[in-house]
Amino acid sequence: MAAPVLSVDNQQAVGMALSCFNQGVTLSLISDTTVNGANTYAVFYSRVQANGAPGAVNTEINQADLEIVLRGLNVANTLGILTDANLSGLTTVASVRALYTTSAPYLPSTYSGWNIQ
């Protein structure tokens, strides 16, 4: 199932959510291993959260980054991008990123920006 193309108003939120996702990739909170086999939003979210758990990531700065990433995942879920149906069968970061860029056609398919501060 493909992610919906959203209204112009919601496409700005998609850009923010994708930036959060990309920040998770940059910080190694999200990887192909995180995506592969995470066929539901709950599983995907819990894997990202576990990758940033104390011990895995032990600085306050990285914990703050984890909160930004998780908030962005929740926005994408609310917008209908990261849903169980859309995540089922995906195996790579690129395949998840494509869900975002399909929903906001102004974003290039290779968009990897993440400076959301």
Quote the CA–CA distance of 41 and 11 in Å, as a whole number: 20
Structure tokens of 35? 């995506």
Cβ neighbours for 55, distance < 8 A, ≥ 6 positions apart: none
What would the pLDDT profile of 13-61 be if each residue is shown by its tens digit? Answer: 888 899 999 999 988 899 999 999 999 999 999 999 998 876 655 576 6
Q: Cα dihedral sign for 10, 87, 39, 27?
A: negative
115/105 Cα distance (integer angstroms): 20
**Higher-confidence position of 32 and 11:** 32
- What is the reported pTM? 0.86
